[in-house]
Structure 1
């Protein structure tokens, strides 16, 4: 059974692909590699043996094929610790017949070198030994230094420190329980494709660790190090501190980060994308210029989740929060004296105890807005309204068969002649609804300076006071009875696609 690896907030490292580790493997196997000075080091080869003047006559004991076999076997090990063990096994102490030493500074014993060939131990000189393995005298001195009195070679300690790891299972469990207790929500804009969750950005990871430390000290429990808490938070949890806003287009960002060759391949698609963006915005501008008693243009969008309680104190950060939703419908006004008038904004507000944020809720708010527009219009029953709607491409809320069923119902039951829904180009869905959301966020930040937000009803007052000049936002507080079952209506109308 395949078990998918849990995705964390931090990218998981792959040390095998690190350049320094790749060069380390190449160096330990005798292959060509790139040094730290960016210089290419050639591969190792068997060097010429000792001369004929050698007292041990090493060249007569081994053929070139045997020397090459010893060289290949040594560098095939590929591990510096095992290679040092091999060198140490090929050395033995020389016991002279007479030895004169200083008692205070005794001289170390000389070393004799040998190779094992066909089960026989054959002694060779140091020059032949070094030339056959293509090592330096420094390697032999290092082996002597790392060999203790018992003849055991110390392992290479480089890159093998474990100071940042903990095996305390109870501490790890306490950290996970503390992180799991932090209230968080799913992504607002990318929840269909992203598993990342979001928490209030009032605290950093270090601030959360300080709170965890205080909690553990109160219970007389160990709290460990910050690096332990940080690794668990980033590698085992996919949590971020801010609400993600997809203000940048994926295609535009990909094109900007590509090289010249990739840009040439993408140029056709990118140019068509920019043209579609320009045409969609121009089309919206043209529709707005045609606004009159018969033609209306609406732009709608759902604001990011509003949570309560909300404040700058630690007590609110770890409390379970109630999510509230604000759906804004912007009724664009006509052009007067060459200038665009301020738009009328209808804000529909509810919390998660009354409804969710799917097609039923969006469609119910749209139907209520359609009914209000028809009641305010001065047209007779014979002359219906022509509504043009703009929104983003969210499938779960705007682009589905249940919204189409709503439009069919509105055209047949209200004084509406036609409904045209136009979707803005993905990545470039900035519209007048974002301006309303920005004003609301500024008002919320301003009120947070004077005190916390305890209940959802406080958001209603802030939305009403968000716009300081011109027409205020029309706020409609929705309850459970305000929403319709559009999915049931879609089945009754026979809209299936």
Structure 2
């Protein structure tokens, strides 16, 4: 007896679950149909035979034209134009008490405009066919009917036009703005155009600033986080994270001198310094323009390639939070980045300080490896963009190597190297290095290699080359001697 009861209960539960699931799916499909104005089912009208008089091609055309209308107001106006309001006589109620009866005062007829033989004609349809053809709901139709009864016109869309009186007090808004202004930011030194955008420290975010605001203004009216965030995003042009730590010494010198000259009122000397500073910035902009043109040319010309190269900041291992690490001698990891401007491929030559230094010999060794292993054989012309570091890039060794590659090896027809104005050498290499999280827990060199491989996935992951710099220089020297 108990087993049969359990089976009945289980079957009842299963049927209930199935019924609920079906109901949910019906509601989901209904909402989807309403949102996209999809056509409904056949009305099966025996009196007007709507779907027999209107072909499927005509119904598709009607729905397509209806969905192509701009905004809800145009759709409402179009639908109301297809509806006619007819007054009817009051019918006698079947109820005993006529005061409790609901009498219909109006009656609606519906029609659609179809094209047959290049002529437009109006075809009367029933209510179900009207809903099905335009993919609207009964509630939408009742809303249109109510507007036609009361005002005689189509209803207007009032969404987003609410005149709410719940506005933020101007004193509270000023308090929030003053709190945001109290954080000291800095401008980007490497921005190509003049901008007022400021950068706050990377360890800050809007939530932390909001908590600090609440702590500093406990006696004031409570302000929600969304209000604080909205004011931060709309009233200020602020981002988090300093773009670079080093700045141009010439620009810094001009800023200091200009501040002193303004205080003294010496406009003549201030104008002279302003002209020199503008000339300095024009020269730096020329470097970026050349690099931009080279990038575009390398994407079009299969025989041309442009690269940027630079050393990364030294990374000390082990990189852990233990205090004793700061008092111990750590292993420095060197990384040399070669970035191809044409296809955004990037190569990191990484080695510990026990294998080599960061001089011109290492730079030409990496360039030689890149040219012979990674550069497309169809390339005939190469442009190199790098900073003016005398011990690494701007020296006799690099120039002699370029001459050797072109005139002795005949690997390329020409190589052009461009050095920027000192202090304005922001390259794609700096962007690549900015993607690497230097705060990651690392103890041994292979963890540093793994971190580089996963730091960038788009457009292409970094290719890490673990080099023994002594062996690489030896192979290059042997090849140089054989030539």
TM-score w.r.t. length of structure 2: 0.44
Higher relative contact order (CA 8 A, sep 6+): 1
TM-score w.r.t. length of structure 1: 0.43
